Amino acid sequence: MAKAVLVVGAGGFIGRRLCKALVAAGRRVVAVTRQEGAQIPDVHHVIVGEPSSDAFEELARDCEGIIWLACTSTPGSTAGRPMAELHENLAPLFALLGGLHRLPPRKLVFISTGGAIYGDVDAAMAVESSVLAPKSYYSAGKAACESFVSAWAHQSAGQAIILRPSNVFGRGQPFRRGFGIIPTAFHAAISGEPLTVWGDGSAVRDYLHVEDFVSLCMKCIDAPLASGVETYNASSGEPTSLNALLTHVEAACGKVVPRVFRASRPVDVERIVLDNARARRTFAWHPQVTLDRGLADAWAAQS
């Protein structure tokens, strides 16, 4: 029987899609969430309210790979509250690493952030070796987590694959205030409640469809186990300003996205586009879903 994959943060938008893909590929899945949620067929669900090294040791014992997706914050949500980032995101990861130290070498795929960790980049694209310049406690927390994951891999002879995704979107992404510009734009179009734009809308990002990101995660899990640490950007590589994105959204839904402009915040990154060449070379991977196709499909799921 195939060894299981432990997915921590399985209840989220990406986690649920990833669990389904793993099951479809014949993998056994142990899905860890912080609270009750909709069940995913053929997945073993475990609720871990207070993470501990003992609990993660038992959960990972029969798993050959672990994917860490758990995160409860955004660049804006922990502004002025560094301890919140520590308790909500760093401490649970530290508990996992403590448990993994008691087991033979494992593969850990850590989902970081590419859209925030580099800060404002002057170059056309950020590469994995670009200097990290977090502007928020959220992105500083991700940078710290990456360092601890690296330290675990070096101490345990485990394999760490760090993925830095850009803005992931797609069908089934729920509307939650402060999370996800695209479902927020859809909500504004449907409800008439204005979307808050921090700045003048010229901030540039790139947007990666969830199917393409899950495909890359699967390739990481399927790669042979090898000790060490590797970091990869995961992106479309297509720069899109927020104003242009909202124009694409309006074309997809046939509705106006009302918006209100506010002064930009210190935590906001003005321009970040990720170079995905390293992931392309290593995993023979490339994004396939265009922004317009992904938006049309996500909007179709709204009705």
pLDDT (average), residues 117-123: 88
- Residue at token pair 């993994």: 100
Q: What SS3 state is found at 271?
A: strand
Rounded Cα gap, residues 43 and 28, in angstroms: 7
| Top-level class of domain 4-171+208-237 | alpha beta
Q: Helix-strand-coil percent breakdown of the chain, rounded to 5?
A: 35, 20, 40
pLDDT (average), residues 154-181: 92
Res. 159 pLDDT band, cuts 50 70 90: very high
pLDDT (average), residues 191-197: 94
Residue type, 239: P
Backbone angles phi, psi at 131, to 5 degrees: -65, 135
Model's pTM, two decimal places? 0.94
- Give all strands of the β-sheet with 63-68 in edge-to-edge order: 44-47, 28-33, 4-8, 63-68, 107-111, 159-165, 228-234
State the average pLDDT for the chain.
Answer: 93
pLDDT at 302: 81
pLDDT at 25: 94
**Bridge-based pairing state of the strands 240-241 and 167-169:** unpaired
- Compute CA distances 124 → 121, 264, 273, 297, whole Å: 8, 22, 7, 29
Res. 78 pLDDT band, cuts 50 70 90: confident
Task: State the DSSP string of 34-70.
Answer: SS--PPPTT-EEEE-SS--HHHHHHHHTTEEEEEE--
Res. 175 pLDDT band, cuts 50 70 90: confident
Instruction: Please determine, for residue 1, whether its predicted confidence score (pLDDT) is greater than 80.
Output: no
Q: Which has the closest alpha carbon to 140: 169, 117, 165?
A: 117
